[in-house]
Structure 1
Amino acid sequence: MKLLDKYIGSTVLMSVLMVTLIIVGLDATFAYLTELDDLGGNYGAGQALIFIALTLPRRIYEFMPVGTLIGCLIGLGTLANTSELTVVRAAGVSISRIVFAASRPVIWVVLLGLLLGQFVVPQTEQFAQSERARHLYLGESITSIAGYWYREGGHYTHIQVVQPNGVMYGISRFIFDDSNNLVQTDFSQRAIYQGDHWVLEQVRQTRISKDHTASERYQTLRWDNTTITPDVMSIVVLKPDYLSISGLYTYATYLETQELDSSSYYFSFWKKVLQPATTLVMVFIAISFIFGPLRSVSMGQRLMAGIIVGLLFHYAQQFLGHITIIFSIAPLMAALVPLLVCLFIGIYLLRRV
C-alpha cells in the first residue's frame, strides 16, 4: 500500500509542478510584454526583465491553488486513461485512500506556499517595486503613475520611491490645521532614516497663512514626530495580496486605529490564512471530477475543465473582495464562500460515484 501511495503521489506531484511552471512562465512572459510599454527614464528592457524575475516568487504563490487543481486533473487523468485507477479501485482501494495518497505530496506544496508568502514574497516584491520606481523616478514632486500616500491625523505624505534600506525619494508633505486648512507644504528629493527620525535633503518648503505665503529652501531638514518608519513603509508600498500574513494583520489593525477602511487587508489576510485549505480542496475537486463527470473524457477536456474551474474560483475571490468593501461584508465570510462552495461540489460529486 505504501508503494501505491508513493506512485500516486509522485504522479500527482510531478503534474502539479509541471503545470505550475507552465502557468507561471506564461504569466511572466505576458507581464514582461506589458512592462515594455512603461519603459522610460532609466527603466529599460533589462531592468524590466530583472523586475519580472524578482516577482516570480509572488507569481508561484498566486498560482499554486490553480496549478494544483489542473495538475491533479492531469496526473490522475493519466492514471485513469491507462486504466490504472480502475485496477486500483478493483483491488479494493477506497476513494478516501486515493484522496490521502494524492493529498500527501500536496502538503509539501502547501508548506512551500506558506514559506513563500510569509518570508520570500514580501521581500522580493518590495525590492522589485522599489527598484522599478527608482528607475522611473524623474525628480518630480507628484506623478499620476507612481507613489504612495500615507496619513497621520492632519498630515498627508506622498512618497515616490521607497527602498528597503531606509531611503525614500520624492517626499511631498501637506500639513492641515484643526480646521482642515492647508498651512504648510514641502517637497524633498530624498529622505534617510536615522534610527528615530528622518533627515530630509534638498527641501523646498512653503508656509501658508491667511494673508501671505513664505517659501524657503533647506539642504537638510530633520523630520521628527512621525510613525513612518522603513518597516511601516515596507507594508504601505505593497498591495494587500503581496504582504505576509503577519504584515497584513499588523497594517489592518493600524488602519482601524486611524479610522480608515481595512476590509481589503482583512480579506487578503483571511485569504492567505485559508490558502492551505484552498489548495487541499483543489485536490479534492480534482479527484471528484476524475471519479465523477470526467472519468471517461479526453485529457484536453479535463484540462479545459480545470482551467474553467480555476478561473471561476479566482474571479469569485476577486469579486467577493470588492463586494466586501462595497457592502461591508465580513472579510472572513467572503474568503470562506468560494472554498466552501468547492468543497460541497466535491462532496456531492463523490457521493454520486
Structure 2
Amino acid sequence: MATGARRLMNILDRYLFRAVATATLVTLLVLLLLEMLLTLLAELESVGQAQYDFMAALHYLLLIQPRRLYDLFPMALLVGSLLGMGALASGSELIVMRAAGLSLTRLTGAVAGTGLLLSIAVVLMGEFIAPPLEQFAREQRATAKGENLEIRGGRGFWARDGDDFIHVQAVLPGVRLAGIRVFRVNPDARLEWATHAESARYQEGRWQLEGISRSRLEGVAVLTEYLPSLTVASAISPQILDVLAARPDDLSFRDLRVYIDYLERNGLDAQSYQLAMWRKAFAPLAYLAMLVIAMPFVFGPQRASGAGQRLLIGLMLGLAFFLMNYLLGNVVLLYGYSPLVGASLPSLLFLGAGFYALRRLR
C-alpha cells in the first residue's frame, strides 16, 4: 500500500514537472525571440559600418543569447509556473491531485523542485558560458565596426596599482592597450613622475610599453626622456581588463571576486561589483521566490481565471520584482548601504509575501 502511494506521488511529481517545465521553456523561448527581434532592429542601424554586415549582426545576436536567457529566466519561471499550474487548475487536475492526498505544501515543493532543476542549468550557464560569449561578442562587434573597445563612454578608464594611477584610453583586440598614462605619487601625495605610452602589449605576465615619454619634476624644471619600449610588471592583468570592459552584471561570480579583491587592495570603491556578486549569489533564492509568489494565484480565488489573466499577473509581478531590484540596488549604491541587503531584500520580500499568502489559503 505504501509502495503504491509512493509510486503515485512520483508519477504526480513527474506530471507537475512536465507541466511547469514545458510552460517555462515555451515562455522563455517567446521572450528570447521578442528580445532578439528588438535587438536586431537596433543593430540594423549599425549595419554597413566598416565590415559590420547583416551576418555579423546576426552572429553578435546569437552570441549574446545565453546572457539574455540568464536575464529573462526569472520572468519566464514566474509566468511559466502560472501558466503551467493554471492550466492544471482550469482542468480541475489540481483538485484531483489534492483529493489523491497531495497537500498544498507537497504541491508547492514539487513545483519548487522543478524550478531548482531548471535553475541549476541556468546558473551554470550564467557562470561559465554567458560571460565569455558576451565578451567575445563585444570584441567581434567592435572589430567588425572598426572600433576600439573603449571603456566608460569613450573616455577610457582609471585604475590604481599601488602608488601608480593609470589611465587607459582604449582596449584593443589581442590584449593590447592604447593611450596609456601612468602617474606615480609618493606617500606625501606629490607627483613624482608621469609616463605616456602610445600602446602596450601583455606578454609573459608583463606589459610591454611602446612609444614612451616620461616626465619627472626636478625642482621647478620638468625633465622629459623618450624611450622606444619599456617592460613593466603590474597587478592589472588581462582578466581585470575584461572586467573593466564589461558591466558588473555581465561578469561571472569568479571574475567579480577577483576584481573586488583588486579594488579593495587599492582602497577603491567596490560596491557596484559587490552588488552584482551578491545578486548572482542570491539568484537561486530569486527563482524560488518567483515560484512561491505564483502559487497563491493558482490555488486562490484567481484559480478559475483564464490564461490571459494569468499571463498579465505574471508580467506585472515580474515587472514589480525587476523594478524593486533595480531601485534597491540604486539606493544601496547612493547611500552606501550594504550590497548584501540590496541584493537579497527583493527576493526575501517576495518569498515572504508568497509564503504568507499560501498560509492564508490553508
Same fold (TM over 0.5): yes
Q: How far apart, in 2, do the equivalents of 1:227 and 1:100 lie?
A: 48
Q: Does 1:346 align with 2:361?
A: no
Q: Does 1:110 align with 2:119?
A: yes
For 1:7, the aligned partner's letter is Y
| Structure 1 match to 2:328 | 320
| Structure 2 match to 1:207 | 215
Give runs of aligned pairs for residues 295-334 of structure 1, distance below 5 A. 295-334=303-342
1:4-44 alpha-carbon deviations (Å, 9 max, x no partner):
11111101001111111111221222122223334534434
| Structure 2 match to 1:58 | 67
| Structure 2 match to 1:271 | 279
Pick the aligned partner of 2:80 from 67, 71, 88: 71
| Structure 2 match to 1:157 | 167
Distance 1:140 1:162, change over 3 A: closer
| Structure 1 match to 2:244 | 236
Instruction: Indicate conservation of the 8 Å contact 1:148/1:237, yes or no.
Output: no
* SS of alignment partner, residue 268 of structure 2: coil
More deviation in 177-186 or 294-303?
177-186
Distance 1:176 1:48, change over 3 A: farther
| Structure 1 match to 2:263 | 255
Q: How far apart, in 1, do the equivalents of 2:113 and 2:294 lie?
A: 14
Provide runs of 4+ in structure 1 moved above 6 Å: 139-143
1:183 deviation in Å? Answer: 4.4
| Structure 1 match to 2:231 | 223
| Structure 2 match to 1:14 | 22
1:212 deviation in Å? Answer: 5.8
1:175 deviation in Å? Answer: 2.1
Give runs of aligned pairs for residues 99-138 of structure 1, distance below 5 A. 99-138=108-147
CA RMSD of aligned residues (A): 2.6
| Structure 2 match to 1:88 | 97
1:272 deviation in Å? Answer: 0.6
Q: How far apart, in 2, do the equivalents of 1:149 and 1:322 lie?
A: 22
Q: How far apart, in 2, do the equivalents of 1:142 and 1:100 lie?
A: 45
For 1:99, the aligned partner's letter is T
1:70 deviation in Å? Answer: 0.6
Question: Percent identity at matched positions?
Answer: 32
Pick the aligned partner of 2:34 from 26, 33, 39: 26
Q: How far apart, in 2, do the equivalents of 1:38 and 1:259 lie?
A: 40
More deviation in 119-128 or 132-141?
132-141
1:79 deviation in Å? Answer: 0.8
Distance 1:247 1:46, change over 3 A: same
* SS of alignment partner, residue 16 of structure 1: helix
Distance 1:28 1:180, change over 3 A: farther
Gaps of 5+ in 2: 1-8
Q: How far apart, in 1, do the equivalents of 2:26 and 2:350 lie?
A: 23
For 1:288, the aligned partner's letter is P
1:311 deviation in Å? Answer: 1.1
Distance 1:143 1:331, change over 3 A: closer
Distance 1:135 1:177, change over 3 A: farther
For 1:15, the aligned partner's letter is A
Instruction: Indicate conservation of the 8 Å contact 2:139/2:149, yes or no.
Output: no
Distance 1:182 1:69, change over 3 A: farther
| Structure 2 match to 1:188 | 198
TM-score by length of 1: 0.88
* SS of alignment partner, residue 302 of structure 2: coil
1:297-330 alpha-carbon deviations (Å, 9 max, x no partner):
1111110110111111112111111111111111
Gaps of 5+ in 1: none
Instruction: Indicate conservation of the 8 Å contact 1:162/1:233, yes or no.
Output: no
Instruction: Indicate conservation of the 8 Å contact 2:168/2:177, yes or no.
Output: no
Instruction: Indicate conservation of the 8 Å contact 1:284/1:346, yes or no.
Output: yes
More deviation in 132-141 or 41-50?
132-141
Q: Number of paired residues? A: 347
1:181 deviation in Å? Answer: 4.7
More deviation in 63-72 or 38-47?
38-47
1:197-249 alpha-carbon deviations (Å, 9 max, x no partner):
12245x3636375556758573xx23313112222222222211111112212
Distance 1:215 1:261, change over 3 A: same
Instruction: Indicate conservation of the 8 Å contact 1:292/1:352, yes or no.
Output: no
Distance 1:15 1:243, change over 3 A: same
Distance 1:174 1:122, change over 3 A: same
Instruction: Indicate conservation of the 8 Å contact 1:41/1:135, yes or no.
Output: yes
